Structure 1
Amino acid sequence: MSETALPIRISVLGPLHAEGGNGSVLTPKGAKNQALLALLALAPEMTRPRRWLEDKLWSQFGPEQASANLRQALSKLRGALGPFADILQADRASVALDRARVRVDLIEDGPPLDARVELLEGLDARDPEFEEWLRMERADLQARIARAAPREAKGILISCSTASHGATTDESDLMAEILANQIGENIGEQIRAWRQANDPDFPAELPPADLSVTCDILASEGGHTVFVKGIHLPSGRILYSKLQKVRHLEDVLTSEQQVAKLVFEAADCIIGKLPQVLDSARPESRATALSRLSMYRMFSFERDALREAYTLLRQAHELDGNGIYLAWSSMVRMIQLMELLEDDRDALREEAIALNYRAIEDSEDNPLVHALISKVRGTAQRDAYGAFDLAETAVDRNPASAFAWKSLAEAHMMKGDLAAAFDASARGRAIARNSPFRQWWDMGHCIIAIACNRAQEAIEAGEAAARSAPLSRPAHRHLLALYALDGQLDKAQATAVKLAKIEPGFTLDQIVNDESYPVRTLRRNGLLEPIRALL
């Protein structure tokens, strides 16, 4: 066998390095040329369409210039490979490496044992699309490293109690402990966590808790004052603290709106900070960080961000097989389906339904799972009463969940009870008032207000959603119609211009005349006609 017939080896762990079977160094010079080799080496079947490569390396160039740049890079790469140049195969549609003659360390040897090894260390192709691809590949590698040395996800231990200092009554102490447990329950719905029993008779036998959630309730003028505090016990870091007025102690039992808002906010803030304080080697810690990032990406409603959110949730579930991550994945598919962001809508619907069933099988006792899959049940499976049953169960089991109230609002709307839908939506929105993802509730309330012919409330909610998520297509779509309906044509025109910037291909004719365009409630209520004044 000639030396040039021997396989070449490409190392992607650490700095990129290519070596011929005869020991010769074949690493190309130039970041773009190295990036091209890396993109092919890590591609499925080691092949990629030309357009895909152009988009990753020259995304800010026009099609003709990007195509010319790719041809030039291929020429330089062949030159670097020298006598091994024939392993690089290209035609008018795609570029590939000869899989029979290429060995890639990550593929052949698997992920490294040392998590500090960086994929394609130091490679900077100076293109945002390549940077995004590389970030995703590195995240995937870290997840694979974690799986290669698996640790059981035992869950986060939470001690929930009253921090009474002797100046309270038995009744207020009981309500404080109930409130602390409600916060612990809300945390446990969103991540793998357990509330720890506080048994004074056996304190030494309890394993140390990760978190302490304490509540004090003191009598004050006009009612009572609640003090809530969440602490990461190993470090002593305070993750959340707040004083909140309540009128009656019974408000804790009935999850009155202000109490529900406090519970939801405390749980949300604590979860948001957990990845910063927990041991990153713990599967539940890594899964929490991935799922939290996925929510930021999901609620942007952007096509690529939703794709990334789905990947992050898949990685979270691989690390910690919690059904909540399947339920969120189902929700991502529903958003992609409803916003017409992917071509194969039937495949999205089928996958959303499949994830729906898997989530409920894995976590049938989780109210948040019930709330999330209620949307899928109603929209993808067109089962309005099934959706209502799931949403009602979610609210009944956790009346402090803004997600549960949103699902109940949408279920009421599917059943045609618009007044109940509006009330439930308003309550969910109020509970989630301080959430970093409040645009989710604002946008939902905007649509329900439109269905109820409450245009001013719809505008207020739509504007709130647009402030929280300036690139949100749904918010701007609905505001465009609402402004036109209200005679605010200048604002409508400005919104149309903004929408054209964030939604490639958007036209006013499309929103008015395309029956498939995702403004169903506006179209059903006959509220798109005023836009014709802008045509």
Structure 2
Amino acid sequence: MIAMVALSEHGERSRAWLQSRLWSDRPAAQGSASLRQELSRLRRGIGSRHLVTVSDRVMLRDVRVDVLDMVEPGSVAASFIAAEVPELLEGLEIRDEEFEDWLRLERSHWSERIEALASREEPPGAHADPPAAPRVPAAARAGAHAAILVPRRPTLGIMPCIVRSERPQLTTIGEMICDLAAKMALENGYFGVFDFRDLSGSFSGLPSEAGNPVDGPDLLLSVRLSEIGAMLEIALALRAVGTNRVVWTQSYAAEASEESLLSAGKIPEFVNQAIEASELWLSRNSEDEKHCAARLTLSAAHRAFCLGNMDLALAQSQLEAAFDLDGSVVQLGWLAFLECVRVGEGHPQQSKSSIERVRMLTAKALQEDRGNSLTLALLGHANAFVLRDYAVAEDLVAESLRINPHRAAGWDARAMLNFYTGDLEDGYLAAQRARALGRFSPYAFWYEASCGIGASMVGRHAEAIRHGSLVLAQRPDFKPMIRHMLASFALQGEMAEAQKLYRHWQVLEEDISIAKLRDAGYPLPNPDSIAMIERGLIRAGVALAPA
């Protein structure tokens, strides 16, 4: 079971998936009971910090998987596989046909990746684990030569908008939806974009890049607006080119008033949902070699939000390898964000190196490209939280929101900056805006946490507990939320819940004390936050104020 979870794309599987491959020959109730029993035994063996079950998902956190390390582009696998290629999970035998089918497929996939790595001319160790000191990824030093090595990104085609209405204003709204989708996809850095709105729709005769023919898009996004009486339906769909299979579709109905449609803020949320769906497709369906940099960046972003030290180390390695491949400033922004997570989670001996890295990454990213709203949002958060340089952070966050006012990460960076500088009410409003825009994101818990922290700081403790419960259901070890939620429980008078959360905090962080909270290097938003958590600890009777 550990192997099956570890070999998944993001280190997680559904309970139903595991049950169907390990107990497929048993009745559903018996298979479910066997799965629960096995998970309980495994948690006792390796610890609930590493094997996490949330709802219907089984996840591995803060672990390193040797097989995945070896098949990462640029790894030292080439020297390892120069000898006889090993068999994946050799000697592991489970008498279940579904398991055997899965294992045969995994071994075939493993062999293909090993053969691809063996055929590369890259010397072993070219991308070993990153050193503690900051470094500039190779593509930043290689200049024009690096561009020759860039594999193409997966591409999203924007189809002409279909409007079933006589009102020309709705055509304008449809074009706005298409424009926003193209902007979000480009800025996120995973997709290139083809715009077919001014073409015949034929994929033949596409231009070339650097003398090489350009393939058609991998996905097509279609937008349709239909007026039905007093209602307007907006429908978006993603189709895979080649099979024409619909991989995602969603519709939204509203009053047929342009003003109400635009003021409700639903269109940006809807577009963000479509882009998240396209990135989910990429993580599951794209070709490893063809879309190498995009897959590395997407995997690293997911690992960053796993919060574990090993996950962060692997994410850093993946981002640096991706930057070496295509040199996108988004990868520099994500590298800066990793330092925020390291500092926020209190990983040891990170403070000084994080400061140096954020300064280097900010300078490099701004030198390369100042026009990407996601990069600016990530850099703004890092400059505020890690460097405490609020003036620079303000410029970066304001520019991010000017370029793209519909980005969840931009509003989240605004919220946290406001919390740091004491503008709590506006910060809470910004956090709510980020949460609405990012509700379909795989990182939605991050935006939920900002709302929870903000609610606790402005004294809305019931709201803070509601937000915090959703966060901890997805990330039980997210310490910033634990600290503020504990205070809200205590200040609401729910002492048993506060004490229970305190015991959980003690498992994650040794020597909790008010003196430690007051330390200048402790990662808390501002003095108001520190004072509130102190009051909560004292009221819950789980910590004493210093004499």
| Candidates 168, 171, 174, aligned match of 1:173 | 171
1:209 alignment partner in structure 2 = 217
Q: Does 1:265 align with 2:282?
A: no
1:200 alignment partner in structure 2 = 199
Q: Distance in 2 between matches of 1:432 and 1:144?
A: 41
Q: Distance in 1 between matches of 2:400 and 2:80?
A: 43
Q: Does 1:449 align with 2:455?
A: yes
Q: Would the aligned equivalents of 1:324 and 1:369 in 2 still touch at CA under 8 Å?
A: yes
2:300 alignment partner in structure 1 = 294
Identity of aligned residues (%): 19
> Structure 2: which 5+ runs fail to align?
1-44, 48-74, 93-111, 124-147, 207-213
Q: Give the total of aligned pairs.
A: 416
Q: Which structure 2 residues correspond to residues 332-411 of structure 1 after superposition, within 5 A?
A: 332-411=338-417
Q: Which structure 2 residues correspond to residues 275-354 of structure 1 after superposition, within 5 A?
A: 275-282=283-290, 285-354=291-360
1:421 alignment partner in structure 2 = 427
Q: Distance in 2 between matches of 1:309 and 1:140?
A: 21
1:239 alignment partner in structure 2 = 247
| Candidates 221, 231, 236, aligned match of 1:228 | 236
1:498 alignment partner in structure 2 = 504
CA RMSD between the two structures: 3.7
Shift of 1:490: 0.7
Residues 344-353 or 174-183, more deviating:
174-183
TM-score, structure 2 as length reference: 0.67
Q: Distance in 2 between matches of 1:251 and 1:403?
A: 26
Shift of 1:217: 0.9
Q: Distance in 1 between matches of 2:437 and 2:342?
A: 26
Which of 1 and 2 has greater Rg? 1
Q: Would the aligned equivalents of 1:360 and 1:369 in 2 still touch at CA under 8 Å?
A: no
Q: State the secondary structure of the residue aligned to 1:423.
A: helix
Change (3 A) 1:178 1:498: same
Q: Which letter does structure 2 place at the counterpart of 1:505?
A: E
Deviations 1:48-105 (CA, angstroms, capped at 9, x unpaired): xxxxxxxxxxx979xxxxxxxxxxxxxxxxxxxxxxxxxxxxxxxxxxxxxxxxxxxx
Q: Bigger relative contact order, structure 1 or 2, given CA contacts below 8 A and separation 6+?
A: 2
Change (3 A) 1:336 1:144: farther
Q: Distance in 2 between matches of 1:125 and 1:330?
A: 42
Q: Which letter does structure 2 place at the counterpart of 1:218?
A: S
Q: State the secondary structure of the residue aligned to 2:162.
A: coil
Q: State the secondary structure of the residue aligned to 1:528.
A: helix
Change (3 A) 1:180 1:240: farther
Q: Which letter does structure 2 place at the counterpart of 1:180?
A: C
Q: Which letter does structure 1 place at the counterpart of 2:199?
A: P
Q: Distance in 2 between matches of 1:114 and 1:181?
A: 47
Q: Distance in 1 between matches of 2:470 and 2:497?
A: 15
Q: Distance in 1 between matches of 2:245 and 2:407?
A: 26
Q: Distance in 2 between matches of 1:342 and 1:491?
A: 29
| Candidates 255, 278, 282, aligned match of 1:274 | 282
Q: State the secondary structure of the residue aligned to 2:450.
A: helix
Q: Would the aligned equivalents of 2:154 and 2:191 in 1 still touch at CA under 8 Å?
A: yes
Q: Distance in 2 between matches of 1:140 and 1:330?
A: 32
1:484 alignment partner in structure 2 = 490
Q: Which letter does structure 1 place at the counterpart of 2:223?
A: C
Q: Distance in 2 between matches of 1:403 and 1:378?
A: 14
Shift of 1:510: 6.9
Change (3 A) 1:139 1:306: farther
TM-score, structure 1 as length reference: 0.68
Q: Does 1:218 align with 2:217?
A: no
Q: Distance in 1 between matches of 2:181 and 2:392?
A: 28
Q: Distance in 1 between matches of 2:510 and 2:85?
A: 36
Q: State the secondary structure of the residue aligned to 2:159.
A: strand
